[in-house]
């Protein structure tokens, strides 16, 4: 650029000097040889200027060529990035279509289950009404029969009364079967609801359902207010032949893991899973393996239990308390990661009753999981719909009931189970993301919580 400016400055000077020389030649009529030498000097100056201009243009062309090459490289990088983004967009669209199809199917199934539940409820109500009428008739007939027996002791029971009693017993059995069916339907409804909610959350994270995102409430919707049925429990009657815990079951000769009925002292009969290991039978109170059971349940469900004993389940705080109040117990926590590495920790513990919100007090005995849970502190159990007064109010993100102390953390074995979706997801987001007190984040595939009396003889 400087060369071009110099050339533009020199050319007017050369032209002006030439014009002046022409005018002076007319005025003075100087000799011809002198004018010829002056013109050669001007040509040399002009040639020198043109040469410098050529060099300047050459440098400018080289610089421009380098800048164009840089621009082409940046364009290539941009094209590659745009291509990668288009591939990711196509994958997201495919996932969106799949999620929409799954959502529609689940909604249809949910409607079908709701309709079946309504039909079962109507049938159950009609059967209950029939049962009441039949019971009234039976009472009336029993009164008449009693009076007849008093008047005629040797008379036999009337066949109509016998048939009515048989019919009433059949109706009772039918009602029990219907109650079992209704409970199974409600469980399916809860599972369908949790699956639909999880899919809606996935759609919301991808930015697909923007309108739905604005209308969601800040807390998860509570399940139906219909009373939860407990088929594992029976009336509080005397069962002298039923063991008090899994240790008693083991001492009676049952040395295989499985489901057994127990009745702790001053408690009802219910089923538990006895896990036999190292010549001991432990009572399994919590088990998670694949995320098939939703653990973001209400306070009532955590009190009385949920899930399947042969799969994922929570035994129930009331049942756990009825077992451990008999004597001193050990709490064992077993963790397994995605590389099949197993860890455990054992505590001696004390569990409070319902009035204390099942306060837990721990003292570590042994194990290879450092600082798993706070020791020598009162840990209060709470859920999203039940917070103890004066204690920490954990946010909705800490799904699932657990024992907390002053601050919420990520060491919640009842938290959300993250199922792996794509290979690009970090490995730590699989399973239960559990962060111990030392700051290390574990990706847990399966968990077990077991209890066993410290003195086996005390359970006999």
263-298: pLDDT as tens digits: 998 889 999 999 999 889 999 999 999 999 999 899
Asked, for residue 167, whether it belongs to a domain, the answer is no
Q: Which pLDDT does position 35 carry in this prediction?
A: 57
Do residues 142 and 255 both lie within one domain?
Answer: no
Looking at the structure, tell me whether residues 141 and 283 fall in a common domain.
no
Tell me what pLDDT residue 279 has: 86
Q: Which residue has the higher pLDDT, 388 or 246?
A: 246
Q: Are residues 140 and 285 in the same domain?
A: no
Q: Do residue 419 and residue 293 come from a single domain?
A: yes
The domain containing residue 352 runs over which residues? 246-453
Domain assignment present for residue 423? The answer is yes
Give the CA angle between residues 336, 341, 346 to the nearest 5°.
60
For residue 74, being part of any structural domain is answered with: yes
Q: What is the CATH number of the domain that holds 437?
A: 3.90.215.10
Q: Are residues 424 and 295 in the same domain?
A: yes
* Contact call for residues 330 and 365 (beta carbons, < 8 A): yes
> Is a pLDDT exceeding 50 seen at residue 216?
no
162 within a domain of the structure (yes/no): no
What average pLDDT score do residues 429-440 get?
68
Average of pLDDT values for 419-430? 52
CA 9 to chain centre: 78
418 and 276 co-located in one domain: yes
CA 377 remoteness from chain centre = 28
- pLDDT > 70: what percent of the chain? 70
Q: Tell whether 131 and 252 lie within a shared domain.
A: no
User: pLDDT digits over 96-118, tens only?
Assistant: 988 888 888 888 888 888 888 78
Per-residue pLDDT band for 16 (boundaries 50, 70, 90) equals low
pLDDT category of residue 356 using cuts at 50, 70 and 90: very high
Residue 225 lies in a domain: no
pLDDT band (50, 70, 90) for residue 210: very low
* The domain boundary residue, chosen from 147, 180, 202: 147
Would 292 be classed as within a structural domain? yes
pLDDT confidence of residue 28: 47
Predicted local distance difference test score (pLDDT) of residue 193:
67
Same domain, 140 and 251: no
User: Based on the domain organization, do 259 and 140 belong to the same domain?
Assistant: no
Cα distances from 73 to residues 67, 76, 85, in angstroms, run 10, 5, 18
Please check whether residue 189 lies inside any domain of the structure. Answer: no
Structural domains of the chain, count: 2
Domain boundary among 97, 128, 147: 147
- Count the neighbouring beta carbons within 10 Å of the beta carbon of residue 109: 15
- Output the CA–CA distances (angstroms, integers) from residue 441 to 340, 426, 430, 449, in the order listed: 17, 13, 12, 19
Phi, psi of 203, rounded to the nearest 5 degrees: -65, -40
Q: What is the mean pLDDT of residues 154-160?
A: 55
Q: Are residue 432 and residue 297 in the same domain, yes or no?
A: yes
Q: Which of 91, 122, 147 is the last residue of a domain?
A: 147
Q: Which of 77-81, 255-259, 260-264, 308-312 has the lowest mean pLDDT?
A: 77-81
Does the pTM exceed 0.75? no
Same domain, 250 and 142: no
Q: Which residue has the higher pLDDT, 316 or 456?
A: 316
Examine residue 179 and state whether it is found in any structural domain, yes or no.
no
What does the alpha-carbon distance between residue 260 and residue 264 come to, in Å, rounded to a whole number? 13
Do 317 and 443 have their domain in common?
yes
pLDDT band of 369, cuts 50, 70, 90: confident
344-348 mean pLDDT: 93
Residue 132 predicted with pLDDT over 90: no
């Amino acid at each position: 650029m400087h060369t071009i400016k110099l050339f533009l400055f020199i050319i007017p000077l050369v032209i002006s000097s030439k014009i002046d020389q022409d005018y002076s030649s007319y005025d003075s009529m100087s000799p011809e040889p002198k004018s010829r030498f002056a013109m050669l000097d001007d040509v040399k100056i002009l040639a020198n200027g043109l040469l410098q201009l050529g060099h300047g243009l050459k440098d400018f062309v080289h610089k421009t060529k380098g800048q164009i090459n840089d621009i082409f490289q940046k364009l290539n990088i941009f094209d590659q990035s745009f291509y990668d983004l288009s591939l990711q967009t196509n994958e997201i669209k495919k996932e969106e279509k799949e999620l929409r199809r799954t959502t529609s199917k689940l909604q249809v199934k949910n409607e079908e289950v709701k309709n079946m539940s309504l039909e079962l409820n109507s049938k159950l109500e009609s059967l209950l009404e029939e049962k009441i009428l039949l019971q009234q008739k039976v009472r009336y007939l029993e009164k008449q029969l009693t009076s007849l027996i008093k008047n005629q002791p040797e008379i036999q029971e009337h066949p109509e009364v016998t048939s009515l009693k048989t019919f009433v017993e059949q109706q009772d059995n039918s009602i029990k079967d219907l109650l079992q069916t209704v409970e199974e339907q409600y469980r399916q409804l809860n599972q369908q609801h949790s699956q639909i909610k999880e899919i809606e959350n996935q759609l919301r994270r991808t930015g697909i359902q923007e309108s739905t995102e604005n209308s969601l409430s800040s807390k998860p919707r509570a399940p139906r207010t219909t009373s939860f049925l407990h088929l594992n429990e029976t009336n509080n009657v005397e069962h002298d032949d039923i063991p008090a815990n899994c240790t008693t079951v083991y001492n009676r000769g049952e040395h295989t893991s499985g489901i057994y009925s127990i009745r702790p002292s001053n408690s009802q009969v219910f089923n538990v899973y006895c896990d036999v290991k190292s010549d001991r039978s432990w009572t399994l109170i919590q088990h998670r393996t694949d995320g098939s059971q939703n653990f973001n349940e209400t306070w009532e469900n955590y009190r009385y239990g949920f899930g399947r004993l042969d799969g994922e389940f929570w035994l129930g705080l009331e049942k756990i308390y009825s077992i451990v109040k008999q004597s001193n117990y050990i709490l064992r926590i077993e963790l397994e990661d995605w590389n099949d590495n197993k860890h455990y920790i054992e505590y001696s513990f004390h569990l409070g009753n319902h009035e204390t919100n099942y306060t837990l007090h721990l003292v570590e005995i042994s194990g290879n999981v450092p600082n798993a849970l706070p020791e020598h502190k009162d840990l209060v159990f709470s859920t999203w719909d039940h917070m103890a007064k004066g204690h920490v109010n954990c946010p909705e993100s800490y799904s699932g009931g657990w024992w907390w102390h002053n601050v919420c953390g990520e060491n919640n074995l009842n938290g959300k189970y993250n199922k792996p979706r794509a290979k690009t997801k970090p490995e730590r987001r699989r399973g239960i993301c559990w962060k111990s007190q030392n700051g290390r984040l574990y990706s847990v595939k399966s968990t077990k919580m077991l209890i066993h009396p410290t003195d086996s003889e005390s359970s006999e």
